[in-house]
Every structure is written in C-alpha cells, then in structure tokens.
Structure 1
Amino acid sequence: MKTTGLIVEYNPLHNGHEYHFLESKRVSGADCTIAVMSGQFLQRGEPAMVGKWARAEMALRMGVDLVLELPVAYSTQPAEWFAYGAVSALQATGVVDSLCFGSESGEINWLQVVAEAMCDEPEAFQKGLQDELKTGIPYPAAYSRAIARHLPGIDPSELAKPNNTLGLHYLIALKRLNSRIVPLTITRQKSGYNQTEITDQAIASATALRHMLFERGALNELEPFVPNGTMTVLHRETAAGRAPIEWEHYTKPLLLQLLNHSPHQLAELHEVTEGLEHRIKHALPLLSLSSEAGRIMEQLIGLLKTKRYTRTKLQRMLLRILLNQTKAQLSPTVLRQGVPYLRVLGFSPAGRQLLKRMKHVSKVPIITNVNAASSDAYPLLQMDVQATSVYALGFESATPHDLFRDYYEPPVQLNQTE
C-alpha cells in the first residue's frame, strides 16, 4: 500500500487544496494519504480561522486518510524549522513513501541542487548571509540572495517565492534526516500564496478567502471556492461561535502579557530578538484602545514594523509572547530532535489500517487520546494543550470543555461517504 505525505494548514481547505490532493495521489501513485497539519496556530504567526479538529474533518471529507498534528513548537516557525518538524513527522510514521508539495515553479531538479548545496550551510554561504543581513533586509530575502551569491545561476526572486522556499526546506529536511521519502512537486494553480484578489471562478488563495470572510462577513460567498465538506464544517463552527477566528480576538490576553512582562522577561521569549523587547515597551503607550482608533493588533504591528522586521516575523514574535514560550523551550537543540510523538487528529477506515501498520514501524509513540500523563511526558504536547486553551479564548463563549478540549476530544473518524 503506497502512501504519500502532505504538509498542510487548510486555513480553510479550498478547491486549490483539493486539486493538490488529487494530483498528489496521481503523480505518486499512492493508495493512501497522510497529512501533517498545523494545529491551532499557523506558520505566519496567526491563529487558524477554525480549529484543528474542524480542519481535520475538512481533510477527511476531501479524502485524506490520516491527519497528524504538527506541534505548535514547529507550526509557527520560519520555513526551516516548520519544514523540519513536518518532515520529521512523516519520516517517523515509517509508512510514507513520498512527499508531494506545491510550488510556484513546478520543477524539483533545481531545488534539489540548492538543497544539496545548502544541507550543511557552507561557511562561504553563512558569510554571504551575514553580509546580506547587514544591509537591513528581512531574513527571507537575505537568505535567497545569499544562496544566489553562493550558487550562480539561481534566481533569488524564484527562490524567494513562498512555496518554492518551503519546498527547498522540505528537501533540506529530507537530506538532514537521511530520509528515503521521495519528494515530488506540483505547480501551484491560478492563485498566489499571499494573493488577496480573486481572479478565477473556482480557485482562490486561502488569504483571499479569509479576507473575504473577515472584511465582509460573507461566509456564503466562499461556496464557489471550497469543497462542500468545507462549507458544512464552516457553517457548523460559525453557528457554535468557534469561527471565524483572527488575531484581534486575542488582543486583551496579549496586552496582559506585554504589560506584565519586563523587558528582560520579554527577551527570554522565543522570537524576541535584537532588542525588540524595548521597541515593544516603547510602542505600548502609543496604542489607542478606543473603538474609533481601529484594530489594536494592526496598530501594534504598524508601530513595530521596520524594513528589517516583516509582518510575519512580528506576528510570530507576538504569538510566542501570547503563548509564553521561551527560547529555552524552542532551542535548536530541542527542535533538531524532531517530533517526539505522532498526535492523531483524525482518520478514515483506510487511515485506521495505516495506524495499525504504524504501530509496528513508527519511530515514535502514536497518541490518539491525550491525558495528563502523556502531556506531562512530552513538553511539546503540553505546549499544544496550552495553545488549545489560549485558542479557545477567541470563541464567543468558551466553555471549560473548550479550554481543555485536548483531554476530551477523540480523533475525528469519518467514512469517505460522509
């Protein structure tokens, strides 16, 4: 039974994702699919618009067989660690034959060349990277330019495209893990990763769909762009007050953290670098909390943003402050170990068979139900439990069950006919 792996956020799952899913099965010849999916908070430092169990259900309704959670320790990291964590999870299953990712280029050979050269980050590249960073540009741009300096013929503008960047880091992670998983790529279709305008009748980016929903409150307008299963789940979660979720729902708990932490304490938290703790403290008195002044998170990011610090960098930093996650908890030493367990969010009948196989070949324990003992045993799992509690603060009316849902919620089980 051939199995292909997908690394996803599904925020929300849309027709472009369905195209990628179907093409992944076709080009890989796979019988089954495993999706490693981000939990309650995502790679750009944002809360998911709908929670992880709901998005796992969307994936199962589309046809994915097994959904595993990418721990928040990895899911909100820059590309290198996000990719490393997700690939380590696929590797740990022991049953994944291929990894199929979307890219702007649709070509894997040149990415393989770059990955081979960058796997150990040679000294000449590191020096070039530091030279680029000294110009004050953001890290992603500096990284792309440094590679182009080290490998003549590589177009830094192509490398800097979001899906190409992630694809490169998937390939680097496969090499660093000495994985036998075969990488494949599919060209992203009809909408860019961050594209906010809608230019097609059936395919739009998740960014555009979220913009439509948050700016106009137009849930029904998403219908042409998402599978029926996605609409079913979104209507249910919205009616329950659990969606749509955005950063503004967390401004009060975030402000509490920012006000209660001293600059020294802020500096201990992950992603608070280069004196940003002082920039934060200087920005706080400039915020206006009146409704007429506009969204607090937008004000704060506007005050903190510079040429050096991208919005994504700042969102990741503020998220780590919201979650109170320290540099020590998320050190390179910790992250290099890869995922220490596989948390199951949902499975189909075929996924149940995959789990039976994995029990014999998985390199790490498989967790289907979380309890106090399991969360105490794995610090990264405890961070996920805490992230779910914080995430629930964004609901219209969070219950104790919502706050501690990781302890109560079994994996979503769905027949493909549902």
Structure 2
Amino acid sequence: MRTVGLIVEYNPFHNGHLYHLQQSRKLTSSEAVVAVMSGHFLQRGEPALLDKWSRTRTALEAGCDLVIELPVAYATQAAEWFAYGAVSLLEATGVVDSFCFGTESGELGPLLQASEVVANETPAFKSILKALLQTGISYPSAYSSAVAGYLTKQGHASAAQFPFALPNHTLALHYLLALKRIGGSMEPFTITREKAQYNQAHVSDSQIASATAIRKLLLEQRSLNEARPFIPDSTYRTLEQEWLAGRCPISWEPFTKTLLHSIITHSPTQLASLHEITEGLEHRIRNALPKLANQQFDEFLDILKTKRYTRTKLQRALLAILLGHTKEDFTAAKLSSGIEYIRVLGFSEKGKLLLRRMRKSAKLPVLLSAARPPQPYRYLELDTQASAVYMLGMPGGESSNEALFRDFTERPITID
C-alpha cells in the first residue's frame, strides 16, 4: 500500500489543507496518508486553536489515515529542528514511501540542489551566515541569504536566484536537509500553494483562506459562521461542538497571567537558562513588565518586538518560559539524537492496516497512549506537561484532573 506523509499543524483544518491532502495523494499515486501533526503548541510559539484530539478527528474525517504526534520539543522550534523531527518521524514509521509539502513556487529542483550543496554546513557557509547575523537581521533571513551566497560561491548562480526566504521555501529546504542528514529513503514531492499564502491575514478568495485569516475570524470577530466557507463541513462540526462546550477557540490570552507569574518569580539568571532566551533577552523581558498597561499578551509582544526579535521568535521564547523548557533539554546534541517513540493520535480503518505493518517496519516503539511507556521518554514527559498547561487555558473550565491528565487516559481517535 503506497503511502504519502504530510507534515501539518491543521490549526484549524481548512479547504487549502484538503486540497493539499488530495493533491498529495494524487501526485504520489498513494492509497494511504500519514500525517505527523504538532500537538497543543505550534511552531510559531502559540497554542493551537483546538486541542490535538479534536484536530486529529478533523484530519481523519478529511482523508488522513494515520495521525502521529510531533513532540512539543520539535513542534515549537524554528524550521531546522521542526523539519528534522517531523521528517525523522515519518521515516521511522517504515511505511511512508514519499512525503509532500506545499511551496510558493511548486518547484523542487532548486531546493534539492541547495540541500545537496549546503547539507554539511562547511566552515565557508558558517562564515557567511555569521557575517549576516552580525548585521542584526533575523536568523531565518540570514540563513536564506547565506544559502544564496554560498550557492553563488560554489558556482550555482542560477539556483542562488531562487527565493529561499519565502516561508514555505524555507521550511521545504529544511525538510530536504533533514531527509539528507538522516539518510532517509522517502521521495520528496511539492505542490504549489494556491490562493492564500502562509500567514496571509486577509481573505482574498471565496473558498480558500490561510489558517491565519481563519483564526482571525474566530478569535477577533468571534464568528464561526464567517469561517464556514473556508473549512470542510467536518471541521465546522468539530469547531461548533468544541465552541458550544466552551473549549475553543484557544489563544495566548488565557495563559498571560501564568506567564507573567513565571517571569516575575524567575531571576534574570534563571530566565537565561531557558530555551530560546538568548543575547540578553531575559533583561528585555523583565524590563518590559512595568510598561504593561493591561497585562495582555499582544501588548507585551508589542513592547518586546524589535527588528532582531520577531514576533515568532518572541512567542517561542515566552512559550519556553510558560512551559519551563530549559536549554539543557534542547541542545543540538539531544535534538539530533531524535525522537525515541511514535505517538499515535488517531487512525482510520486503513490506518489500522498501517499500524499492523508498523509492528514489523517501525524503527521506534509505537505508543497508543502516554500511559506506561516501555521506558521513560523525556520528550513524552514534556508533551504530557504541555498538555496539562494547555488544559489550564481552556475557557470552559476544563482544567479538571481528568482534563489535566487526559494524555494518560485518551485512546487514539478512530473513525470507520
């Protein structure tokens, strides 16, 4: 059974995601789809709109066959480690033949060429990157420019003209770098992202809108009906159910007081020991507290933001404070050693067949629950902690013991 892998957040699952899923299956001639999906906290350093089990259901009802969780240790990282964790997990299943991602151009050639040239990150490449970072630009911008500069130096001037700095191109390059570095056998494919671009905050089409624009409708306008044209019926049903139960939509705001408490009760030295807190950011964060007028998260971000510290960088740093993620757990050595297990969030009937195959083919233990793993897994521990923190932010009073420890009792979501 030929199987394609997708790397997703589904925050929430919308018509653009459905197009990507269907086209990926068609382009790769696959019978089944495996999605590796972020859990309760996402790559841009923010909580998911819906809990991971609700998002798993929307994925399965739209056509995914098996959904596995990307641990929070990788899901909340910049492109390099986000990609490394996701690609490694798909490869580790032993059942995924190919993986497909969306890009602004739909071109794979220049990305493959760049991944071949820069995979080893030679001293010459690192020197270009260091010089660019010293100009004060953000790391993603510096990395993309370094790739173009190094390609030119290596005699690949035409490939250097490719717009590596576009968000989906950046992620795609890191997917291919990860595949090369782990020695993976999956075949990469890409499709053109249609009609709504990544992080596009406004609606420009009658049926396709970015997840950012849809979240804006749900969070700012508090309107489920206005989001309806851009999401499948199955997503609408799940959103409606969770909305009426008071369990969504989730944003940063419910966590703000807990975040401020953590900042207040940590010294600058203690803050500096946390992941993503670099270059004196701990002092900037502490010094921003007296300037807060309303103790709102967006207000806090506006005070902190600079050319060097982008909104996404700051959200990841503040999330590390909220979740207590230390530098010790996020060293390059630990992250490059990879994930030690495959956590299943849900499956279809076809997914059940994939799980049977994985009993023989998977390179890692397959977990159907966080309860009683075969051995202690640090990244699983971080996931269960993150889930409990997420439940504390539920607007409908879902922070009961049952909700806080749902990771240990929830079985995978299944559909017929």
Please say whether Structure 1 and Structure 2 have the same fold, judged by a TM-score greater than 0.5.
yes
Q: Which residue does the alignment assign to 1:412? A: 413
- Give the conservation status (yes or no) of the 8 Å contact 1:145–1:156: no
Q: Which residue does the alignment assign to 2:163? A: 158
Structure 1's 375 and 135: CA in aligned 2 closer, same or farther, altered over 3 A? farther
- Give the conservation status (yes or no) of the 8 Å contact 2:341–2:365: yes
Secondary structure of the 1:42 match is coil
Q: How does 1:243-258 map to 2 (within 5 A)?
A: 243-258=248-263
**Quick one: which of 272, 277, 281 aligns to 1:276?**
281
State the distance in 2 between where 1:172 and 1:212 align: 35
Over aligned residue pairs, what C-alpha RMSD do you find? Answer: 1.1
State the distance in 2 between where 1:156 and 1:197 align: 29
TM-score (norm 2): 0.97
Q: Percent identity?
A: 52
Q: How does 1:245-394 map to 2 (within 5 A)?
A: 245-289=250-294, 296-371=296-371, 373-374=372-373, 377-394=376-393
State the distance in 2 between where 1:63 and 1:148 align: 38
Ranges in structure 2 where 5+ consecutive residues have no aligned partner: none
Describe the superposition over 1:232-270 as per-residue Cα deviations: whole angstroms up to 9, x where unpaired. 110111112111000111001101110111101101100
2:11 maps to 1:11: yes
1:15 counterpart letter in structure 2: N
Secondary structure of the 1:169 match is helix
State the distance in 2 between where 1:287 and 1:157 align: 42
2:87 counterpart letter in structure 1: V
State the distance in 1 between where 2:410 and 2:299 align: 36
Describe the superposition over 1:246-297 as per-residue Cα deviations: whole angstroms up to 9, x where unpaired. 01110011011101111011011000000111111111111123xxxxx611
| Dislocated runs of 4+, deviation >6 Å | none
State the distance in 2 between where 1:332 and 1:114 align: 22
Q: Which residue does the alignment assign to 1:86? A: 86
2:191 maps to 1:186: yes
State the distance in 2 between where 1:369 and 1:258 align: 33
Ranges in structure 1 where 5+ consecutive residues have no aligned partner: 290-294
- Give the conservation status (yes or no) of the 8 Å contact 2:110–2:162: no
State the distance in 2 between where 1:212 and 1:269 align: 33
Describe the superposition over 1:75-96 as per-residue Cα deviations: whole angstroms up to 9, x where unpaired. 0000000000000000110111
- Give the conservation status (yes or no) of the 8 Å contact 1:16–1:203: yes
TM-score (norm 1): 0.96
1:388 counterpart letter in structure 2: S
TM-aligned CA deviation for residue 374 of structure 1: 2.2
2:257 counterpart letter in structure 1: K
Q: How does 1:38-117 map to 2 (within 5 A)?
A: 38-117=38-117
TM-aligned CA deviation for residue 156 of structure 1: 6.6
2:402 counterpart letter in structure 1: H
- Give the conservation status (yes or no) of the 8 Å contact 1:147–1:156: no
Secondary structure of the 2:328 match is coil
Secondary structure of the 2:220 match is helix
TM-aligned CA deviation for residue 157 of structure 1: 7.3
State the distance in 1 between where 2:62 and 2:388 align: 28
Secondary structure of the 1:374 match is coil
State the distance in 1 between where 2:74 and 2:3 align: 23
- Give the conservation status (yes or no) of the 8 Å contact 1:144–1:156: no
- Give the conservation status (yes or no) of the 8 Å contact 1:375–1:381: no
2:113 counterpart letter in structure 1: V
State the distance in 2 between where 1:328 and 1:240 align: 39
